Structure 1
Amino acid sequence: MSEITNFRGDSTSQSGSDLAEASVSALIARVGERVRKARERRGIPRRVLSEISGVSPRYLAQLEAGEGNISIGLLQRVAIALDHRIEWLVGEDDPWESDALRVADLFRSASSDVQQTVLRALNPEPKEVLRAGRICLVGLRGAGKSTLGRLLGKELGLPFVELNHGIEEQAGMPVAEVMALYGQEGYRKLEAQTVQRIIATHDALVLAVAGGIVAEPDTYNTLLSHFHTVWLRASPVEHMERVRAQGDERPMAGNPEAMEQLRSILTSREALYGKAEAQLDTSGQSVEASLEQLRALVEERGFLG
């Protein structure tokens, strides 16, 4: 009897092991197929996905073929690069048959006005709740966003993030290389993804963004909705002097019309910068004085609740 009992026990154990192995194999195959499908739907070559996610092309090829037992950490990086939730890649239900993904695709291709209408309908929370304790400094280069943002974050005990550094972290390369490889369109896509990632991971921080982000309606509207935005202003002459004081002579090098071009950029973006929740003119101000005014503005407006 004992021999029969032992035999049945071993058989049951082996059967359970086989089922588990088959389940794991099915999961790996499912994840690989969905990664490939998501990549193809977005028209992203595997090489580009590798550069954005930091996962090697060979590993991605194995993954898509159902042969790669990828770690959760690497899969999360692939999901972020594909602008997907990781649950969509591992769940048993086919995400491309779900209403949620169809709605997401429609939302992504809709105009900014339509997106804002949908957001208000789906998430009718007041702006103060959506913005939480996030502060975003906007303005042209040389306004003091990086300097004042870093100091303000230190005084308030908040993390300070420069959006371009976040883009470099996500892309795994300097912004200059991102622009060279993917062009303006690729950079703007990474910029939008990085903003969304920051919103998802920070309820309170100080963020400094590049001056041209206001010309991207969707991304700028996201900033206006989810951050307390402050436009740091300065005169054109001070903008130029501050950039040159940082050791960057490019704005003037071989370009006698650089100042006039700068004035034109400021004029063209003034209405966009003016959408910010608050403004602070740093012209003629020391760093200490500007910081004191910025901190007072944050307190008076109740940006931190």
Structure 2
Amino acid sequence: MAEITNFRGEARSDEASHVDDLIARVGERVRRARDRKGIPRRVLSEKSGVSPRYLAQLEAGEGNISIGLLQKVAHALDHKIEWLVGEDDPWTSEALRVADLFRTADAGTQRQVLSTLTPEPAAQSRAHRICLVGLRGAGKSTLGRRAGEALGIPFVELNREIEEQAGMPVDEVMAFYGQEGYRRLEAQALSRVIATHDTMILAVAGGIVAEPETYNRLLTHFHTIWVKATPAEHMARVREQGDERPMAGNPEAMDQLKSILTSREALYDKALESLDTSGKTEDESLAEMSALIRERGFL
């Protein structure tokens, strides 16, 4: 077997050298992707669930990271795992350049690009489906249910579809299958909803925007409305629902919520419309949503 010498003067087999090259390549791509997105290592650690120490070793080309953990890092960076491990340099690819231009373009330009690349007319692919996106506490479920009743069309919560498919509550789904398993069930549930409803109002979990393929499928097949509120109102409404978990033993909960809102703002802004429920009653927000749906011809 052929051997080579590394920088320490140690003999290494060709196979071992290939592994070292792969680890170094992955580390470099993780670091560059994080730098390009302006994500501190601490934030990437929180989003991926991989410790800062492990990430530092990975970026230095010293971390023999497992496939499972690498998948989490790729997901947190909004990239596919193949992008991190492939032999071709992604930084010189035309696809990456297009992706970067798309990512930094304003919402109107992004919609024009999607419209040009979509094989069928947007109106046809979206039918009369409406989807409400945004963080928990904005009012998606309440407004979606009331709007569905007022308009005489079905209202569906995607998490309820996931629970029905899995045969257990979402919390248990997360405990049993983890974030990756939940995302797979979420994508499957969305496909079922698209296949079985041409007219409906759908409410989705706030984190669906972090899964590019699923979110793009949603944007393609639904008239989307970003339902939003101030961070303080988001938190207050969740607590009014009887859920104390956001604040329990976590004095930095509000700062974390603001950080999540900031990091997802550009993704939520891909929605066709937005509805700010801050400082408004349910009736006022419902009236605005109904007018928006009517004026934009979503139904």
Say whether the fold is shared (TM-score over 0.5).
yes
Q: Deviations over 1:162-201 (max 9, x none)?
A: 0000001111111111111111111100000000000000
Q: Where do 1:217-232 residues align within 5 Å?
A: 217-232=212-227
Provide closer, same or farther for how the CA distance between residues 245 and 223 of structure 1 changes in structure 2, counting only shifts above 3 A.
same
Provide closer, same or farther for how the CA distance between residues 118 and 211 of structure 1 changes in structure 2, counting only shifts above 3 A.
closer
Matched residue SS, 2:130:
strand
Which residue is 1:139 aligned to?
134
Which residue is 2:228 aligned to?
233
Q: Where do 1:141-220 residues align within 5 Å?
A: 141-220=136-215
- Residue type of the alignment partner of 1:214: V
Which residue is 2:13 aligned to?
none
Q: Deviations over 1:194-221 (max 9, x none)?
A: 0000000000100000000001100000
Return the alpha-carbon distance in structure 1 between the equivalents of residues 267 and 227 of structure 2.
Answer: 13
The answer to whether the aligner puts 1:279 opposite 2:283 as a matched pair is no
Matched residue SS, 1:275:
coil
- Residue type of the alignment partner of 1:203: D
- Residue type of the alignment partner of 2:156: V
Return the alpha-carbon distance in structure 2 between the equivalents of residues 279 and 176 of structure 1.
Answer: 29
Matched residue SS, 1:137:
strand
- Residue type of the alignment partner of 1:190: L
Residue pair 2:115, 2:121 contacting (<8 A) in 1 also: no
Post-superposition offset of 1:118: 12
Return the alpha-carbon distance in structure 1 between the equivalents of residues 208 and 186 of structure 2.
Answer: 9
- Residue type of the alignment partner of 1:288: D
Matched residue SS, 1:231:
strand
The answer to whether the aligner puts 1:247 opposite 2:242 as a matched pair is yes
Residue pair 2:141, 2:203 contacting (<8 A) in 1 also: yes
- Residue type of the alignment partner of 1:156: L
Q: Deviations over 1:1-57 (max 9, x none)?
A: xxxxxxxxxxxxxxxxxxxxxxxxxxxxxxxxxxxxxxxxxxxxxxxxxxxxxxxxx
Bigger proportion of residues as helix: 1
Return the alpha-carbon distance in structure 2 between the equivalents of residues 274 and 119 of structure 1.
Answer: 16
Which residue is 1:288 aligned to?
283
Which residue is 1:102 aligned to?
none
Taking structure 1 as the reference length, the TM-score comes to: 0.60
RMSD of aligned C-alpha atoms?
A: 2.3
Unpaired runs of 5+ residues, structure 1, are 1-108
Which residue is 2:68 aligned to?
none
Residue pair 2:219, 2:271 contacting (<8 A) in 1 also: yes
Percent identity reads 68
Post-superposition offset of 1:291: 0.1
Return the alpha-carbon distance in structure 2 between the equivalents of residues 188 and 119 of structure 1.
Answer: 26
Residue pair 2:115, 2:122 contacting (<8 A) in 1 also: no
Provide closer, same or farther for how the CA distance between residues 288 and 186 of structure 1 changes in structure 2, counting only shifts above 3 A.
same
Which residue is 1:41 aligned to?
none
Equivalent residues, number: 193
Give structure 1 regions of 4+ aligned residues with deviation exceeding 2 angstroms: 109-114, 117-121
Looking at CA atoms only, which structure, 1 or 2, has the larger radius of gyration?
A: 1
Matched residue SS, 1:143:
coil
Which residue is 1:48 aligned to?
none
Unpaired runs of 5+ residues, structure 2, are 1-81, 84-94, 100-112
Post-superposition offset of 1:124: 2.5
Taking structure 2 as the reference length, the TM-score comes to: 0.61
Provide closer, same or farther for how the CA distance between residues 128 and 119 of structure 1 changes in structure 2, counting only shifts above 3 A.
closer
Post-superposition offset of 1:119: 11
Matched residue SS, 2:250:
coil
Matched residue SS, 2:202:
strand
Residue pair 2:136, 2:238 contacting (<8 A) in 1 also: yes
